[in-house]
Amino acid sequence: MKRILILLLTILSIGCTTETPKEYSLLAYVPQNTATIIQIQNFESFRSELKNNKLLKSFRKPSFKKDFNDFVKYLDYLKPNSKSLLCLNELGNDSFEYTFITKFHPDLIATDSLAKLTTEKITYEGNSILKTTLNNRVNYSFTADSIFVNSSSKVLIENCIRSYKTATIPETFKKVYTTIDETKSATILANPKYVSPLLKKLFPNAATDFVSNFGAQAALDLSILPDEISFTGIVTANDSLGHMLSSLKNTAPNAYKMAKVIPPFFAHFTAITFDAYEKFHPKTKNSLLDALEEVATFEFNGTTFTGLRFISSSNEAITQLQTKPEASTIRNVKIYTNEDATLFKDHFTPFINDFDNSTFVILDEYIVFAEAEGLRNLAMLIGMYKDEQTLFYQKNYQEAIANLSDESSLLTFVNLGKFKETFAKSVQKKYQKEITSINFEEYPFAALQFTNEKGSNYAHVHGILKRNTTKPSENTVSQQLNIVLDNPVATAPQFVKNHITKRKEIIVQDDKNALYLISTAGKVLWKKQLDGQILGKVSQVDLYKNGRLQLAITTPQTFYVLDRKGETVKPYPTKAKSAYTQPVAIFDYDKSKNYRFVFTEGNKVAMRDKKGKTVSGFKFSGSENDFINPPQHFRVRSKDYITFQESNGKLHILSRTGKPRITPKQNIQFSDNTMYIHNNLFTTSDRKGNLIQVDGKGQIQQTKLPVAENHAVVMTTKTLVSFFENKLRIKDKTVELDFGSYSKPNIFLIQNKIYVTITDTDAQKVYLFDSNAKPIAGFPAFGSSVIDLGNFDKDKKLELVTKGENNTVLVYKLN
pLDDT at 20: 37
Mean per-residue pLDDT for 642-670?
A: 96
Residues 6+ apart with CB under 8 A from 573: 558, 559, 560, 561
Cα–chain center distance at 264: 7
Looking at residue 473, the DSSP 8-state letter turns out to be P
C-alpha dihedral (597, 602, 604, 608), degrees to nearest 10:
-10
pLDDT tens digits along 476-494:
788 888 788 889 999 999 9
**Cα separation of 171 and 541, whole Å?**
75
For the cut 50, the answer to whether the pLDDT of residue 555 exceeds it is yes
Give the up-direction half-sphere exposure of residue 763: CA atoms within 13 A in the CB hemisphere.
Answer: 15
pLDDT at 50: 81
Percent of the chain with pLDDT over 90: 59
For the cut 70, the answer to whether the pLDDT of residue 283 exceeds it is yes
3-state secondary structure 481-506: EEEECCCCECCCCEEEECCCCCCEEE
Residues 6+ apart with CB under 8 A from 105: 81
Mean per-residue pLDDT for 772-785?
A: 93
For the cut 50, the answer to whether the pLDDT of residue 9 exceeds it is no
The dihedrals phi and psi of 63, each to the nearest 5 degrees, come to -65, -30
Instruction: Give the closest residue to 100 by CA, choosing from 83, 114, 119, 118.
Output: 83
The dihedrals phi and psi of 258, each to the nearest 5 degrees, come to -65, -15
- With cut-offs at 50, 70 and 90, classify the pLDDT of residue 473: low
**Cα separation of 696 and 590, whole Å?**
22
Residues 6+ apart with CB under 8 A from 307: 258, 261, 262, 294, 295, 296, 297, 298, 366, 367, 368, 369
State the first-to-last Cα distance of the chain, in angstroms, to the nearest integer.
34
Residues 6+ apart with CB under 8 A from 46: 40, 185, 186, 224
CB 491 within 8 A of CB 384: no
Instruction: Give the closest residue to 409 by CA, choosing from 247, 533, 532.
Output: 247
Q: Give the β-pairing of 651-654 and 639-645.
A: antiparallel
Mean per-residue pLDDT for 553-576?
A: 96
The dihedrals phi and psi of 139, each to the nearest 5 degrees, come to -140, 170
pLDDT at 442: 84
- The full length of the chain comes to 815
For 780, the 3-state DSSP assignment is coil
Residues 6+ apart with CB under 8 A from 614: 606, 607, 608
pLDDT at 113: 57
- Environment class of residue 737 by beta-carbon count within 10 Å: exposed (0-12), middle (13-18) or buried (19+)? middle
Looking at residue 489, the DSSP 8-state letter turns out to be B
**Cα separation of 785 and 725, whole Å?**
18
Highest averaged pLDDT of the listed ranges 12-16, 52-56, 248-252, 680-684 = 680-684
Q: How many CB atoms lie within 10 A of CB 629?
A: 20
CB 535 within 8 A of CB 523: no
pLDDT at 18: 36
Strand partners, 763: none
**Cα separation of 298 and 370, whole Å?**
10
C-alpha dihedral (34, 38, 39, 43), degrees to nearest 10:
-140
pLDDT at 6: 41
For the cut 60, the answer to whether the pLDDT of residue 278 exceeds it is yes
pTM for the full model? Answer: 0.69
For 661, the 3-state DSSP assignment is strand
The dihedrals phi and psi of 261, each to the nearest 5 degrees, come to -115, 0
**Cα separation of 105 and 383, whole Å?**
66
For 129, the 3-state DSSP assignment is strand
pLDDT at 254: 92
pLDDT at 115: 55
Looking at residue 584, the DSSP 8-state letter turns out to be P
Amino acid letter, residue 162: R
**Cα separation of 102 and 98, whole Å?**
13
- Environment class of residue 670 by beta-carbon count within 10 Å: exposed (0-12), middle (13-18) or buried (19+)? buried
Q: How many CB atoms lie within 10 A of CB 321?
A: 18
Edge-to-edge strand order for the sheet containing 574-575? 539-541, 550-554, 558-562, 574-575
CB 216 within 8 A of CB 171: no
**Cα separation of 775 and 208, whole Å?**
53
Instruction: Give the closest residue to 147 by CA, choosing from 130, 164, 124, 167.
Output: 164
For the cut 90, the answer to whether the pLDDT of residue 575 exceeds it is yes
Highest averaged pLDDT of the listed ranges 40-49, 360-369, 424-433, 478-487 = 360-369
C-alpha dihedral (96, 97, 100, 101), degrees to nearest 10:
-90
pLDDT at 22: 42
**Cα separation of 128 and 132, whole Å?**
13
Q: Mean pLDDT in the chain?
A: 88
CB 633 within 8 A of CB 612: no
- With cut-offs at 50, 70 and 90, classify the pLDDT of residue 19: very low
For the cut 60, the answer to whether the pLDDT of residue 291 exceeds it is yes
CB 38 within 8 A of CB 17: yes
342 or 172, greater pLDDT: 342
55 or 290, greater pLDDT: 290
Instruction: Give the closest residue to 461 by CA, choosing from 4, 5, 13.
Output: 13
Q: Give the β-pairing of 228-236 and 458-466.
A: antiparallel
142 or 33, greater pLDDT: 142
Instruction: Give the closest residue to 758 by CA, choosing from 774, 747, 750.
Output: 747
pLDDT tens digits along 158-204:
999 999 998 888 888 888 888 888 888 899 998 888 888 788 777 77
